[in-house]
C-alpha cells in the first residue's frame, strides 16, 4: 500500500512546479504571432517552400482590424442571436410600414374603428344594418377603407417619382445623368502598396537580425532590442520577459544556426518598406530557474523552428528592424 502511494505523493508534490513552468515555446516571441505588417497585418502571407502550409494569424497587434474594401470581412452574429447580416455592399428594402408610417397609422385607425364598431354592435354605418347585419356592414367598411388607401398610395408614389426625377440632374457630389456616386465625397481606399525587389544584402541583414534578436532576448537586453525592433515588438518582448521573471525563470537561446530562408512578400507603403520572410533555424532552447535547474527544454537537444518574420525600414534610413513574428503551421 505504501509503495502505491509513493508515486501519487510525488506527482502531487510536483504539480506546483508544472504550474509554474513556462510554455515549451520560450524563445523570443514565446511561440505566438504578434506585431504588425502595415495594411497586410490581417492578410495571410503567401506560402513559400520553407513555410508551405498555414500561417497563424496575429494573436496580438496594435493595428486595428478593419474591413477591406477589396476583400470584405464578416463578423459572426452574437451567440444566441438569429440576426444575419446582408452581403457587404448590399441593401435591404424597408417594409411599407417603415417607409410610410403615416399611411400605416391611418389604415390602422380605420380598421380599428370598424372592428370596435362591429364588436359593440354599431360602426360607421350602424344605421344601415341593424342586429345581425353588422358583419356585412363591417365588410363594406373594409372595402371603402381599402379603396381610400389605394388612392392615397397612388398619389404618394406619383409624388415620390416626381421628386426623384427632379433631382436627377447634376449635383455637388455626382455627375449629371444619374451617374452619381452613393458616397458624398472621395471613396475610402486601402493604403497603396508597391511590390519591391530585395538584394542579397537585405537577406543577409535578416539573417543577422534573427541571431541578434535571439541573443538580446536571452540576455534580457532591452536596449539592444529597442535598436532592432519596433516599439510595438519591444513592448511585447518586455511583457514576456517580465512574465518569466515573475515566475523566477529565465529562457536562454544559444547556438542559433540558420538553416534556410525564403521570401514571402516585399512591398512599399508610402515611405516604409516591408518584407516578410520565412526563416527556419535550430537552437538550444532551455528555460531554467534562478538556481539553474531546467524547467523546460534541454541543454543538449536542439529544436528546429520555422517562423515568418516581418521587417521594415524607412526609405533612406537603411536599417531593417523587426515588426512582426508569425508561427508557421
d(CA 66, CA 62): 12
Which among 316, 321, 50, 326 has a CA at the least distance from the CA of 209?
321
Helix, strand, or coil (residue 309):
strand
d(CA 26, CA 20): 13
Question: Nearest Cα to 313, choosing from 198, 153, 144?
Answer: 198
CA distance 2 to 97: 80
Please, which residues bridge with residue 307 across strands? Answer: 279, 327
More confident residue, 38 or 108: 38
**Topology classification of domain 22-61+192-327:** Nuclear Transport Factor 2; Chain: A, (3.10.450)
Reply yes or no on whether the pLDDT at 93 is more than 60: no
Cβ atoms of 217 and 237 closer than 8 Å: yes
Q: What is the pLDDT of residue 161?
A: 57
Alpha carbon separation from 131 to 82, 119, 126, 139 (Å, rounded): 49, 11, 9, 15
Tell me what the mean pLDDT of segment 165-172 comes to.
Answer: 41
Helix axes 134-166 and 101-119, enclosed angle (nearest 10): 180
Mean pLDDT of the chain: 73
pLDDT in tens, 229-240: 999 999 999 999
| Helix and strand totals (H; E) in the chain | 7, 7
Distance from C-alpha of 97 to C-alpha of 83, rounded to nearest angstrom: 20
pLDDT at 71 over 50: no
Nearest to 253 by CA among 298, 218, 226: 218
User: How many Cβ atoms sit within 10 Å of the Cβ of residue 163?
Assistant: 9
pLDDT band at 80 (very low <50, low <70, confident <90, very high): very low
Binning pLDDT at 50, 70 and 90, where does residue 44 land? very high
Q: What residues form DSSP beta bridges with 257? A: 282
Q: How confident is the model at residue 290 (pLDDT cuts 50, 70, 90)?
A: confident
User: Domain coordinates of the chain in residue numbers?
Assistant: 22-61+192-327, 96-160
Q: Averaged over 224-248, what is the pLDDT?
A: 96
pLDDT at position 312, please? 97
The three cell numbers of residue 105 are 397609422
Query: Would residue 261 be called left, alpha or beta, if left means φ above 0 and alpha means ψ between -120 and 50 degrees?
Result: beta
**Which residue bears the cell 374603428?**
113
**Residue 212: how many other CB atoms lie within 10 Å:** 17
Answer for the pair 322, 280: CB distance below 8 angstroms, yes or no.
Answer: no
Q: How confident is the model at residue 149 (pLDDT cuts 50, 70, 90)?
A: confident
Is the pLDDT assigned to residue 323 strictly greater than 90?
A: yes
Q: Tell me the percentage of the chain whose pLDDT exceeds 90.
A: 49
Which pLDDT score, from 0 to 100, does residue 173 have?
30
Q: Is the pLDDT of residue 109 over 70?
A: no
Pairwise CA distance, residues 12 & 15, whole Å: 5
Q: Is the pLDDT of residue 98 over 70?
A: no
pLDDT at 83: 31
Q: Which of 61-70, 118-127, 245-254 has the highest mean pLDDT?
A: 245-254
The answer on pLDDT for 265 being more than 60 is yes
Amino acid at each position: 500500500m505504501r509503495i502505491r502511494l509513493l508515486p501519487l505523493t510525488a506527482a502531487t508534490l510536483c504539480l506546483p512546479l508544472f504550474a509554474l513552468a513556462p510554455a515549451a515555446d520560450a524563445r523570443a516571441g514565446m511561440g505566438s504571432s504578434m506585431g504588425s505588417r502595415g495594411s497586410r497585418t490581417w492578410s495571410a502571407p503567401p506560402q513559400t517552400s520553407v513555410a508551405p502550409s498555414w500561417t497563424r494569424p496575429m494573436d496580438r497587434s496594435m493595428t486595428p482590424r478593419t474591413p477591406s474594401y477589396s476583400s470584405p470581412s464578416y463578423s459572426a452574429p452574437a451567440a444566441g442571436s438569429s440576426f444575419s447580416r446582408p452581403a457587404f455592399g448590399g441593401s435591404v428594402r424597408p417594409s411599407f410600414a417603415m417607409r410610410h408610417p403615416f399611411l400605416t397609422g391611418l389604415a390602422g385607425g380605420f380598421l380599428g374603428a370598424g372592428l370596435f364598431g362591429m364588436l359593440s354592435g354599431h360602426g360607421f354605418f350602424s344605421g344601415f344594418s341593424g342586429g345581425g347585419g353588422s358583419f356585412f356592414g363591417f365588410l363594406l367598411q373594409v372595402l371603402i377603407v381599402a379603396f381610400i388607401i389605394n388612392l392615397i398610395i397612388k398619389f404618394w408614389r406619383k409624388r415620390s417619382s416626381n421628386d426623384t426625377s427632379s433631382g436627377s440632374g447634376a449635383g455637388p457630389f455626382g455627375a449629371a445623368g444619374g451617374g452619381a456616386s452613393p458616397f458624398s465625397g472621395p471613396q475610402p481606399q486601402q493604403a497603396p502598396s508597391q511590390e519591391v525587389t530585395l538584394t542579397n544584402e537585405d537577406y543577409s541583414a535578416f539573417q543577422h537580425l534573427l541571431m541578434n534578436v535571439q541573443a538580446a532576448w536571452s540576455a534580457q537586453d532591452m536596449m539592444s532590442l529597442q535598436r532592432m525592433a519596433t516599439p510595438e515588438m519591444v513592448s511585447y518582448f518586455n511583457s514576456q520577459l517580465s512574465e518569466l521573471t515573475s515566475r523566477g525563470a529565465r529562457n536562454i537561446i544559444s547556438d542559433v544556426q540558420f538553416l534556410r530562408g525564403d521570401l514571402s512578400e516585399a512591398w512599399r507603403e508610402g515611405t516604409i518598406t516591408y518584407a516578410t520572410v520565412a526563416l527556419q533555424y535550430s537552437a538550444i532552447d532551455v528555460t531554467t530557474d534562478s538556481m539553474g535547474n531546467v524547467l523546460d527544454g534541454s541543454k543538449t537537444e536542439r529544436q528546429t523552428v520555422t517562423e515568418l518574420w516581418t521587417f521594415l525600414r524607412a526609405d533612406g534610413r537603411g536599417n531593417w528592424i523587426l515588426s512582426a513574428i508569425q508561427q508557421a503551421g
